[in-house]
Structure 1
Amino acid sequence: MSLEQVDWVGGKPIRTEMDNRLAELETTIAKELKAFYRVGNALAEIRDNRLYKLKGYKSFEEYCVTEWEMHRQHAHRLINASSVVKNLYPIGNKLPENEAQVRPLVKLSPEKQREVWQAVCESDKPVTAEQVQAVVNSGCAVVPENKAKILTPEQMCIADSYLCCRDKERKITSILCDWNERSNNIQHEITTKLLTYSSYRNRINKELWDRLLSVYKDIELVDKALDDIEKKLGEF
Protein backbone atom coordinates (compact mmCIF):
# COMPACT_ATOMS: atom_id res chain seq x y z
CA MET A 1 0.00 0.00 0.00
CA SER A 2 1.34 3.40 -0.92
CA LEU A 3 1.60 6.11 1.70
CA GLU A 4 -1.08 8.11 -0.08
CA GLN A 5 -3.67 5.34 0.28
CA VAL A 6 -5.78 5.48 3.46
CA ASP A 7 -8.51 3.07 4.57
CA TRP A 8 -11.51 4.56 6.35
CA VAL A 9 -14.08 3.07 8.73
CA GLY A 10 -16.84 5.16 10.27
CA GLY A 11 -15.33 8.35 8.91
CA LYS A 12 -11.98 7.73 10.65
CA PRO A 13 -8.74 6.46 9.11
CA ILE A 14 -7.56 2.98 10.12
CA ARG A 15 -4.21 3.00 11.91
CA THR A 16 -1.72 0.82 10.09
CA GLU A 17 1.53 -0.75 11.25
CA MET A 18 3.40 2.16 9.65
CA ASP A 19 1.22 4.66 11.54
CA ASN A 20 2.10 2.92 14.81
CA ARG A 21 5.79 2.94 13.94
CA LEU A 22 5.66 6.67 13.12
CA ALA A 23 4.01 7.31 16.52
CA GLU A 24 6.81 5.37 18.27
CA LEU A 25 9.52 7.29 16.45
CA GLU A 26 7.91 10.65 17.21
CA THR A 27 7.64 9.70 20.89
CA THR A 28 11.38 9.11 20.87
CA ILE A 29 12.00 12.56 19.42
CA ALA A 30 9.60 14.34 21.80
CA LYS A 31 10.97 12.69 24.96
CA GLU A 32 14.65 12.60 24.12
CA LEU A 33 15.55 15.75 22.21
CA LYS A 34 18.80 15.87 24.18
CA ALA A 35 19.64 12.27 23.28
CA PHE A 36 20.93 13.28 19.85
CA TYR A 37 21.96 9.75 18.87
CA ARG A 38 18.50 8.25 19.30
CA VAL A 39 16.84 11.34 17.81
CA GLY A 40 19.13 11.10 14.78
CA ASN A 41 18.26 7.44 14.28
CA ALA A 42 14.53 8.19 14.54
CA LEU A 43 14.76 11.09 12.08
CA ALA A 44 16.78 8.95 9.65
CA GLU A 45 14.13 6.25 9.61
CA ILE A 46 11.34 8.79 9.11
CA ARG A 47 13.27 10.41 6.26
CA ASP A 48 14.45 7.24 4.51
CA ASN A 49 11.07 5.48 4.70
CA ARG A 50 9.21 8.73 3.90
CA LEU A 51 7.00 8.26 6.95
CA TYR A 52 6.40 12.02 7.02
CA LYS A 53 3.92 11.45 4.17
CA LEU A 54 1.62 9.71 6.65
CA LYS A 55 0.95 13.14 8.14
CA GLY A 56 0.41 14.76 4.78
CA TYR A 57 3.80 16.42 4.44
CA LYS A 58 5.33 16.61 0.97
CA SER A 59 8.93 16.83 2.16
CA PHE A 60 11.11 15.87 5.09
CA GLU A 61 12.09 19.52 5.54
CA GLU A 62 8.45 20.60 5.88
CA TYR A 63 7.87 17.83 8.42
CA CYS A 64 10.84 18.82 10.60
CA VAL A 65 9.99 22.53 10.60
CA THR A 66 6.28 22.08 11.33
CA GLU A 67 6.38 19.18 13.78
CA TRP A 68 9.60 19.93 15.65
CA GLU A 69 10.55 23.52 14.73
CA MET A 70 13.77 22.03 13.48
CA HIS A 71 15.56 23.32 10.39
CA ARG A 72 16.50 20.71 7.80
CA GLN A 73 20.22 21.36 8.31
CA HIS A 74 20.01 20.61 12.02
CA ALA A 75 17.99 17.46 11.35
CA HIS A 76 20.65 16.23 8.95
CA ARG A 77 23.39 17.09 11.44
CA LEU A 78 21.67 14.84 13.98
CA ILE A 79 21.30 12.07 11.40
CA ASN A 80 24.97 12.32 10.41
CA ALA A 81 26.01 12.39 14.07
CA SER A 82 24.05 9.22 14.83
CA SER A 83 25.84 7.47 11.97
CA VAL A 84 29.22 8.49 13.38
CA VAL A 85 28.32 7.26 16.87
CA LYS A 86 27.48 3.83 15.43
CA ASN A 87 30.97 3.74 13.98
CA LEU A 88 32.54 4.68 17.34
CA TYR A 89 30.76 2.04 19.43
CA PRO A 90 33.66 -0.46 19.55
CA ILE A 91 36.08 2.14 20.89
CA GLY A 92 36.55 2.33 24.66
CA ASN A 93 33.78 3.15 27.13
CA LYS A 94 33.28 6.76 26.10
CA LEU A 95 30.84 8.00 23.51
CA PRO A 96 30.13 11.60 22.42
CA GLU A 97 27.75 13.38 24.78
CA ASN A 98 26.34 15.82 22.25
CA GLU A 99 26.14 16.51 18.54
CA ALA A 100 28.76 19.27 18.74
CA GLN A 101 31.43 16.74 19.78
CA VAL A 102 30.62 14.61 16.74
CA ARG A 103 30.43 17.39 14.18
CA PRO A 104 34.21 17.56 13.50
CA LEU A 105 34.20 13.83 12.70
CA VAL A 106 31.37 13.77 10.16
CA LYS A 107 33.47 14.48 7.07
CA LEU A 108 36.21 12.02 8.02
CA SER A 109 36.44 8.46 6.77
CA PRO A 110 35.18 5.75 9.18
CA GLU A 111 38.77 4.69 9.90
CA LYS A 112 39.85 8.28 10.65
CA GLN A 113 36.80 8.82 12.87
CA ARG A 114 37.84 5.88 15.03
CA GLU A 115 41.45 7.02 15.08
CA VAL A 116 40.58 10.56 16.17
CA TRP A 117 38.07 9.44 18.79
CA GLN A 118 40.57 6.96 20.25
CA ALA A 119 43.08 9.79 20.66
CA VAL A 120 40.45 12.03 22.26
CA CYS A 121 39.46 9.31 24.75
CA GLU A 122 43.07 8.57 25.68
CA SER A 123 43.88 12.23 26.27
CA ASP A 124 44.01 13.66 29.79
CA LYS A 125 41.98 16.63 28.63
CA PRO A 126 38.19 16.80 29.03
CA VAL A 127 36.21 15.64 26.02
CA THR A 128 34.85 18.76 24.35
CA ALA A 129 33.96 19.75 20.81
CA GLU A 130 37.02 22.00 20.78
CA GLN A 131 39.28 19.10 21.81
CA VAL A 132 37.87 16.85 19.09
CA GLN A 133 38.41 19.60 16.52
CA ALA A 134 41.97 20.12 17.76
CA VAL A 135 42.80 16.44 17.23
CA VAL A 136 41.23 16.55 13.77
CA ASN A 137 43.28 19.65 12.92
CA SER A 138 46.47 17.94 14.05
CA GLY A 139 46.13 15.64 11.07
CA CYS A 140 47.38 12.61 12.97
CA ALA A 141 45.83 11.06 16.04
CA VAL A 142 48.60 9.33 17.98
CA VAL A 143 47.44 6.74 20.51
CA PRO A 144 49.78 5.30 23.18
CA GLU A 145 50.80 1.80 22.04
CA ASN A 146 50.05 0.22 25.42
CA LYS A 147 46.48 1.52 25.31
CA ALA A 148 45.55 1.32 21.65
CA LYS A 149 43.40 -1.51 20.38
CA ILE A 150 45.33 -3.01 17.46
CA LEU A 151 43.28 -4.75 14.80
CA THR A 152 44.72 -7.33 12.45
CA PRO A 153 44.48 -6.64 8.68
CA GLU A 154 41.74 -9.27 8.46
CA GLN A 155 39.76 -7.61 11.27
CA MET A 156 40.12 -4.22 9.59
CA CYS A 157 38.81 -5.64 6.30
CA ILE A 158 35.81 -7.16 8.10
CA ALA A 159 35.15 -3.88 9.94
CA ASP A 160 35.35 -1.86 6.71
CA SER A 161 32.95 -4.23 4.92
CA TYR A 162 30.54 -4.04 7.85
CA LEU A 163 30.59 -0.24 7.85
CA CYS A 164 30.01 -0.11 4.09
CA CYS A 165 26.98 -2.38 4.47
CA ARG A 166 25.56 -0.25 7.28
CA ASP A 167 26.07 2.85 5.17
CA LYS A 168 24.09 1.27 2.31
CA GLU A 169 21.20 0.10 4.53
CA ARG A 170 19.37 3.42 4.69
CA LYS A 171 19.73 4.05 0.97
CA ILE A 172 18.44 0.57 0.13
CA THR A 173 15.50 0.96 2.53
CA SER A 174 14.50 4.15 0.75
CA ILE A 175 14.84 2.51 -2.68
CA LEU A 176 12.72 -0.47 -1.66
CA CYS A 177 10.06 1.86 -0.29
CA ASP A 178 9.90 3.55 -3.71
CA TRP A 179 9.87 0.47 -5.92
CA ASN A 180 6.22 -0.54 -5.70
CA GLU A 181 4.80 2.94 -6.26
CA ARG A 182 7.22 3.80 -9.04
CA SER A 183 6.70 0.51 -10.89
CA ASN A 184 2.94 1.06 -10.82
CA ASN A 185 3.38 4.59 -12.18
CA ILE A 186 5.69 3.36 -14.94
CA GLN A 187 3.29 0.59 -15.90
CA HIS A 188 0.44 3.11 -16.11
CA GLU A 189 2.48 5.55 -18.20
CA ILE A 190 3.61 2.90 -20.66
CA THR A 191 0.18 1.33 -21.05
CA THR A 192 -1.51 4.70 -21.52
CA LYS A 193 1.02 6.04 -24.02
CA LEU A 194 1.33 2.80 -25.93
CA LEU A 195 -2.43 2.63 -26.46
CA THR A 196 -2.50 6.28 -27.48
CA TYR A 197 0.39 6.00 -29.91
CA SER A 198 -0.83 2.73 -31.39
CA SER A 199 -4.14 4.37 -32.25
CA TYR A 200 -2.29 6.93 -34.33
CA ARG A 201 0.56 4.75 -35.58
CA ASN A 202 0.57 6.33 -39.01
CA ARG A 203 1.00 9.79 -37.52
CA ILE A 204 3.94 8.96 -35.22
CA ASN A 205 7.43 9.49 -36.56
CA LYS A 206 10.32 7.04 -36.24
CA GLU A 207 12.09 9.12 -33.59
CA LEU A 208 9.20 8.75 -31.17
CA TRP A 209 8.94 5.00 -31.74
CA ASP A 210 12.71 4.67 -31.14
CA ARG A 211 12.39 6.58 -27.86
CA LEU A 212 9.65 4.24 -26.74
CA LEU A 213 11.74 1.25 -27.80
CA SER A 214 14.62 2.62 -25.71
CA VAL A 215 12.33 2.65 -22.65
CA TYR A 216 11.40 -0.99 -23.28
CA LYS A 217 15.08 -1.94 -23.50
CA ASP A 218 15.75 -0.19 -20.18
CA ILE A 219 12.91 -2.16 -18.57
CA GLU A 220 14.45 -5.39 -19.87
CA LEU A 221 17.77 -4.40 -18.28
CA VAL A 222 16.02 -3.74 -14.96
CA ASP A 223 14.32 -7.13 -15.20
CA LYS A 224 17.70 -8.77 -15.82
CA ALA A 225 19.19 -6.91 -12.83
CA LEU A 226 16.34 -8.15 -10.62
CA ASP A 227 17.06 -11.71 -11.74
CA ASP A 228 20.73 -11.24 -10.76
CA ILE A 229 19.72 -9.84 -7.35
CA GLU A 230 17.43 -12.82 -6.69
CA LYS A 231 20.21 -15.21 -7.67
CA LYS A 232 22.74 -13.53 -5.34
CA LEU A 233 20.30 -13.48 -2.43
CA GLY A 234 19.60 -17.17 -3.00
CA GLU A 235 23.29 -17.94 -2.48
CA PHE A 236 23.30 -16.75 1.17
Structure 2
Amino acid sequence: MSKLKRKNTINGNAESSIALLYSSSEENEEELFWENINEPYKSILEDCYYLNEEGKYNQLKQITNSIKYNRINYIKLGLQLYQVKYYHLYKNEYKSFKDYCEKAVYYPVWRANQVIDSANVAIKLIKLGFNIIPQNEAQARLLIKLNEEQLMEKWQEVLNTYEPYKITANRIERIVFGEQSFKKGTLKLPIKVITQIEFKALENGMSAGDLITKMMAGELTINYDGCVETRVIDNENYRENPTPEMINQWEKDLQKLAFQERSIVDEFAEDLAEEVKNTVTDFKKVIKKCFLKSFFRTIVVNPH
Protein backbone atom coordinates (compact mmCIF):
# COMPACT_ATOMS: atom_id res chain seq x y z
CA MET A 1 0.00 0.00 0.00
CA SER A 2 2.71 2.43 -0.97
CA LYS A 3 0.12 4.99 -2.06
CA LEU A 4 -0.96 5.26 1.58
CA LYS A 5 2.50 5.80 2.99
CA ARG A 6 2.41 9.52 2.41
CA LYS A 7 2.05 11.25 5.76
CA ASN A 8 -0.08 14.34 6.03
CA THR A 9 0.27 16.90 8.76
CA ILE A 10 -3.01 17.33 10.61
CA ASN A 11 -3.52 20.53 12.52
CA GLY A 12 -5.16 20.46 15.91
CA ASN A 13 -5.33 17.79 18.55
CA ALA A 14 -2.99 14.91 17.74
CA GLU A 15 -5.44 12.53 19.42
CA SER A 16 -8.39 13.48 17.19
CA SER A 17 -9.92 10.71 15.09
CA ILE A 18 -8.60 12.29 11.87
CA ALA A 19 -5.07 12.71 13.23
CA LEU A 20 -5.01 9.09 14.42
CA LEU A 21 -5.71 7.88 10.89
CA TYR A 22 -2.34 9.28 9.83
CA SER A 23 -0.31 7.88 12.71
CA SER A 24 2.41 5.29 12.10
CA SER A 25 2.58 1.73 13.32
CA GLU A 26 4.98 0.95 16.14
CA GLU A 27 6.98 -1.45 13.96
CA ASN A 28 7.32 0.64 10.82
CA GLU A 29 7.20 4.42 10.63
CA GLU A 30 6.52 4.21 6.88
CA GLU A 31 3.23 2.39 7.45
CA LEU A 32 -0.04 3.66 8.80
CA PHE A 33 -0.96 1.76 11.96
CA TRP A 34 -4.10 0.22 10.44
CA GLU A 35 -2.53 -1.19 7.26
CA ASN A 36 -1.83 -4.60 8.78
CA ILE A 37 -4.61 -5.03 11.33
CA ASN A 38 -7.47 -7.51 11.06
CA GLU A 39 -10.72 -7.08 9.19
CA PRO A 40 -13.24 -5.51 9.40
CA TYR A 41 -11.26 -2.79 11.21
CA LYS A 42 -8.73 -2.37 8.41
CA SER A 43 -11.44 -1.73 5.80
CA ILE A 44 -13.39 0.74 7.89
CA LEU A 45 -10.29 2.75 8.76
CA GLU A 46 -9.10 2.69 5.15
CA ASP A 47 -12.51 4.01 4.09
CA CYS A 48 -12.23 6.75 6.71
CA TYR A 49 -8.75 7.66 5.47
CA TYR A 50 -9.91 8.08 1.87
CA LEU A 51 -13.08 9.82 3.06
CA ASN A 52 -10.92 12.47 4.72
CA GLU A 53 -8.64 12.80 1.69
CA GLU A 54 -11.60 13.25 -0.66
CA GLY A 55 -13.51 15.37 1.84
CA LYS A 56 -11.28 18.35 1.11
CA TYR A 57 -12.84 18.51 -2.34
CA ASN A 58 -16.40 17.25 -1.63
CA GLN A 59 -19.46 19.46 -1.71
CA LEU A 60 -21.66 19.74 1.38
CA LYS A 61 -24.50 17.93 -0.42
CA GLN A 62 -22.29 14.88 -1.05
CA ILE A 63 -21.27 14.67 2.59
CA THR A 64 -24.86 15.21 3.78
CA ASN A 65 -26.15 12.38 1.61
CA SER A 66 -23.37 10.14 2.89
CA ILE A 67 -24.29 10.92 6.51
CA LYS A 68 -27.96 10.15 5.81
CA TYR A 69 -26.95 6.88 4.15
CA ASN A 70 -24.89 5.77 7.11
CA ARG A 71 -27.65 6.60 9.59
CA ILE A 72 -30.06 4.19 7.90
CA ASN A 73 -27.44 1.57 7.08
CA TYR A 74 -29.30 -0.90 9.34
CA ILE A 75 -31.38 -1.63 6.22
CA LYS A 76 -28.32 -3.01 4.44
CA LEU A 77 -27.24 -4.88 7.58
CA GLY A 78 -30.66 -6.51 7.89
CA LEU A 79 -30.62 -7.55 4.23
CA GLN A 80 -27.16 -9.11 4.60
CA LEU A 81 -28.25 -11.10 7.65
CA TYR A 82 -31.37 -12.19 5.75
CA GLN A 83 -29.25 -13.41 2.84
CA VAL A 84 -27.14 -15.56 5.15
CA LYS A 85 -30.28 -16.98 6.76
CA TYR A 86 -32.48 -17.42 3.66
CA TYR A 87 -29.82 -18.90 1.36
CA HIS A 88 -28.20 -20.96 4.16
CA LEU A 89 -24.83 -19.41 3.35
CA TYR A 90 -23.58 -20.50 6.77
CA LYS A 91 -24.03 -24.24 6.18
CA ASN A 92 -20.45 -25.09 5.17
CA GLU A 93 -18.89 -23.50 8.26
CA TYR A 94 -21.56 -23.35 10.96
CA LYS A 95 -24.18 -25.71 12.35
CA SER A 96 -27.04 -23.25 12.05
CA PHE A 97 -27.94 -19.60 11.55
CA LYS A 98 -27.91 -19.26 15.34
CA ASP A 99 -24.39 -20.68 15.48
CA TYR A 100 -23.29 -18.31 12.72
CA CYS A 101 -24.76 -15.26 14.46
CA GLU A 102 -23.12 -16.03 17.79
CA LYS A 103 -19.69 -17.06 16.51
CA ALA A 104 -19.19 -15.05 13.32
CA VAL A 105 -20.86 -11.67 13.90
CA TYR A 106 -21.35 -11.77 17.70
CA TYR A 107 -25.14 -11.37 17.60
CA PRO A 108 -27.59 -13.45 19.60
CA VAL A 109 -29.86 -14.93 16.95
CA TRP A 110 -32.95 -13.14 18.24
CA ARG A 111 -31.18 -9.77 17.77
CA ALA A 112 -30.16 -10.71 14.24
CA ASN A 113 -33.80 -11.54 13.48
CA GLN A 114 -34.86 -8.19 14.93
CA VAL A 115 -32.45 -6.37 12.61
CA ILE A 116 -33.86 -8.33 9.66
CA ASP A 117 -37.42 -7.38 10.64
CA SER A 118 -36.42 -3.74 11.26
CA ALA A 119 -34.91 -3.53 7.77
CA ASN A 120 -38.16 -4.92 6.38
CA VAL A 121 -40.11 -2.18 8.19
CA ALA A 122 -37.86 0.52 6.71
CA ILE A 123 -38.25 -0.82 3.16
CA LYS A 124 -42.05 -0.96 3.59
CA LEU A 125 -42.13 2.69 4.69
CA ILE A 126 -40.03 3.74 1.70
CA LYS A 127 -42.38 1.80 -0.60
CA LEU A 128 -45.36 3.53 1.04
CA GLY A 129 -43.86 6.85 -0.06
CA PHE A 130 -42.35 8.20 3.17
CA ASN A 131 -39.32 10.44 2.71
CA ILE A 132 -38.45 10.21 6.41
CA ILE A 133 -38.09 6.77 7.96
CA PRO A 134 -36.78 5.50 11.34
CA GLN A 135 -33.19 6.70 11.63
CA ASN A 136 -31.88 3.66 13.46
CA GLU A 137 -32.77 0.06 14.13
CA ALA A 138 -34.04 0.79 17.66
CA GLN A 139 -36.72 3.08 16.22
CA ALA A 140 -37.74 0.71 13.43
CA ARG A 141 -37.90 -2.23 15.85
CA LEU A 142 -40.95 -0.71 17.59
CA LEU A 143 -42.96 -0.95 14.36
CA ILE A 144 -42.25 -4.61 13.57
CA LYS A 145 -45.56 -6.07 14.72
CA LEU A 146 -47.78 -3.58 12.87
CA ASN A 147 -49.58 -4.61 9.71
CA GLU A 148 -49.21 -2.38 6.65
CA GLU A 149 -52.27 -0.24 7.43
CA GLN A 150 -51.23 0.26 11.07
CA LEU A 151 -47.66 0.94 10.04
CA MET A 152 -48.70 3.70 7.67
CA GLU A 153 -51.11 5.21 10.21
CA LYS A 154 -48.76 5.13 13.21
CA TRP A 155 -45.69 6.37 11.35
CA GLN A 156 -47.67 9.25 9.87
CA GLU A 157 -48.81 10.09 13.40
CA VAL A 158 -45.17 10.13 14.53
CA LEU A 159 -44.27 12.54 11.72
CA ASN A 160 -47.28 14.74 12.43
CA THR A 161 -46.39 14.92 16.12
CA TYR A 162 -42.63 15.51 16.06
CA GLU A 163 -40.07 17.28 13.95
CA PRO A 164 -37.69 14.69 12.42
CA TYR A 165 -34.81 15.65 14.71
CA LYS A 166 -37.04 15.19 17.76
CA ILE A 167 -38.10 11.63 16.93
CA THR A 168 -36.79 9.11 19.45
CA ALA A 169 -37.52 5.46 20.22
CA ASN A 170 -39.36 6.46 23.40
CA ARG A 171 -41.63 8.86 21.52
CA ILE A 172 -42.39 6.26 18.87
CA GLU A 173 -43.19 3.77 21.63
CA ARG A 174 -45.71 6.16 23.21
CA ILE A 175 -47.54 6.60 19.90
CA VAL A 176 -47.48 2.93 18.88
CA PHE A 177 -48.39 1.40 22.25
CA GLY A 178 -50.16 4.29 23.98
CA GLU A 179 -49.22 6.50 26.89
CA GLN A 180 -50.72 4.17 29.49
CA SER A 181 -48.77 1.10 28.38
CA PHE A 182 -45.63 3.21 28.32
CA LYS A 183 -45.94 3.97 32.03
CA LYS A 184 -43.90 1.54 34.03
CA GLY A 185 -44.41 0.54 37.65
CA THR A 186 -41.76 -0.67 40.03
CA LEU A 187 -41.28 -4.01 41.71
CA LYS A 188 -38.76 -4.55 44.49
CA LEU A 189 -36.91 -7.82 43.92
CA PRO A 190 -33.47 -9.09 44.90
CA ILE A 191 -30.80 -8.07 42.39
CA LYS A 192 -29.95 -11.73 41.76
CA VAL A 193 -33.56 -12.51 40.79
CA ILE A 194 -33.83 -9.43 38.54
CA THR A 195 -30.61 -10.42 36.77
CA GLN A 196 -31.92 -13.95 36.17
CA ILE A 197 -35.23 -12.63 34.80
CA GLU A 198 -33.47 -10.18 32.48
CA PHE A 199 -31.07 -12.87 31.25
CA LYS A 200 -33.88 -15.34 30.55
CA ALA A 201 -35.88 -12.64 28.74
CA LEU A 202 -32.85 -11.59 26.67
CA GLU A 203 -32.17 -15.22 25.80
CA ASN A 204 -35.69 -15.55 24.39
CA GLY A 205 -35.85 -12.25 22.53
CA MET A 206 -38.23 -10.33 24.75
CA SER A 207 -38.18 -7.74 27.49
CA ALA A 208 -38.26 -8.71 31.16
CA GLY A 209 -41.74 -7.19 31.39
CA ASP A 210 -42.98 -9.29 28.46
CA LEU A 211 -41.56 -12.46 30.01
CA ILE A 212 -43.25 -11.87 33.36
CA THR A 213 -46.54 -10.82 31.72
CA LYS A 214 -46.63 -13.96 29.57
CA MET A 215 -45.85 -16.18 32.56
CA MET A 216 -48.61 -14.54 34.63
CA ALA A 217 -51.04 -14.99 31.75
CA GLY A 218 -50.03 -18.63 31.44
CA GLU A 219 -48.78 -18.19 27.88
CA LEU A 220 -45.42 -19.75 28.67
CA THR A 221 -43.65 -21.69 31.40
CA ILE A 222 -40.04 -22.18 32.42
CA ASN A 223 -39.10 -25.82 32.96
CA TYR A 224 -36.65 -27.10 35.58
CA ASP A 225 -33.89 -27.21 32.94
CA GLY A 226 -34.41 -23.49 32.26
CA CYS A 227 -36.08 -23.94 28.87
CA VAL A 228 -39.00 -21.64 28.06
CA GLU A 229 -42.02 -23.41 26.56
CA THR A 230 -45.13 -21.83 25.09
CA ARG A 231 -48.45 -23.27 26.18
CA VAL A 232 -50.22 -24.90 23.28
CA ILE A 233 -53.19 -26.47 25.09
CA ASP A 234 -56.09 -25.26 27.22
CA ASN A 235 -54.83 -25.80 30.75
CA GLU A 236 -58.15 -24.83 32.33
CA ASN A 237 -59.86 -27.66 30.49
CA TYR A 238 -57.18 -30.13 31.60
CA ARG A 239 -57.44 -29.05 35.22
CA GLU A 240 -61.23 -29.33 35.23
CA ASN A 241 -61.37 -32.61 33.32
CA PRO A 242 -58.12 -34.49 33.97
CA THR A 243 -57.76 -38.01 32.68
CA PRO A 244 -57.09 -40.88 35.14
CA GLU A 245 -53.59 -41.18 33.70
CA MET A 246 -52.90 -37.53 34.42
CA ILE A 247 -54.20 -37.80 37.99
CA ASN A 248 -52.02 -40.84 38.57
CA GLN A 249 -48.95 -39.07 37.21
CA TRP A 250 -49.65 -35.97 39.32
CA GLU A 251 -49.80 -38.11 42.45
CA LYS A 252 -46.49 -39.75 41.61
CA ASP A 253 -44.82 -36.41 40.92
CA LEU A 254 -46.15 -34.89 44.15
CA GLN A 255 -45.04 -37.92 46.16
CA LYS A 256 -41.58 -37.68 44.67
CA LEU A 257 -41.45 -33.95 45.34
CA ALA A 258 -42.76 -34.24 48.90
CA PHE A 259 -40.38 -36.97 50.05
CA GLN A 260 -37.14 -35.78 48.53
CA GLU A 261 -34.62 -35.31 51.30
CA ARG A 262 -34.07 -31.81 50.03
CA SER A 263 -36.50 -30.83 47.30
CA ILE A 264 -36.13 -28.24 44.58
CA VAL A 265 -38.88 -26.28 46.34
CA ASP A 266 -36.83 -26.05 49.54
CA GLU A 267 -33.71 -24.90 47.72
CA PHE A 268 -35.63 -22.38 45.67
CA ALA A 269 -37.46 -21.02 48.69
CA GLU A 270 -34.42 -20.73 50.92
CA ASP A 271 -32.33 -19.04 48.24
CA LEU A 272 -34.97 -16.38 47.76
CA ALA A 273 -35.53 -16.01 51.48
CA GLU A 274 -31.82 -15.45 52.00
CA GLU A 275 -31.80 -12.83 49.25
CA VAL A 276 -34.45 -10.69 50.93
CA LYS A 277 -33.16 -11.39 54.45
CA ASN A 278 -36.56 -12.69 55.50
CA THR A 279 -37.50 -15.43 57.95
CA VAL A 280 -36.95 -18.65 56.03
CA THR A 281 -39.94 -20.52 57.49
CA ASP A 282 -42.53 -17.83 56.76
CA PHE A 283 -41.18 -16.91 53.37
CA LYS A 284 -40.91 -20.55 52.32
CA LYS A 285 -44.67 -20.98 52.70
CA VAL A 286 -45.28 -18.20 50.21
CA ILE A 287 -42.66 -19.42 47.75
CA LYS A 288 -43.79 -23.04 47.99
CA LYS A 289 -47.31 -22.01 47.15
CA CYS A 290 -46.10 -20.09 44.09
CA PHE A 291 -43.68 -22.81 43.06
CA LEU A 292 -46.30 -25.59 43.31
CA LYS A 293 -48.68 -23.51 41.23
CA SER A 294 -45.98 -23.17 38.60
CA PHE A 295 -45.22 -26.89 38.93
CA PHE A 296 -48.83 -27.82 38.20
CA ARG A 297 -48.78 -25.63 35.12
CA THR A 298 -45.64 -27.34 33.88
CA ILE A 299 -46.92 -30.89 34.22
CA VAL A 300 -50.27 -29.97 32.67
CA VAL A 301 -48.53 -28.50 29.63
CA ASN A 302 -46.21 -31.51 29.41
CA PRO A 303 -48.31 -34.49 30.59
CA HIS A 304 -46.34 -37.74 30.72
TM-score exceeds 0.5: no
Which interval holds the TM-score relative to the shorter structure?
0.3 to 0.5
Higher percent of residues as helix: 1
TM-score between both structures, scaled by the size of structure 1? 0.43
TM-score between both structures, scaled by the size of structure 2? 0.34
Instruction: Report 1 or 2 for greater relative contact order, CA contacts < 8 Å, sequence distance ≥ 6.
Output: 1
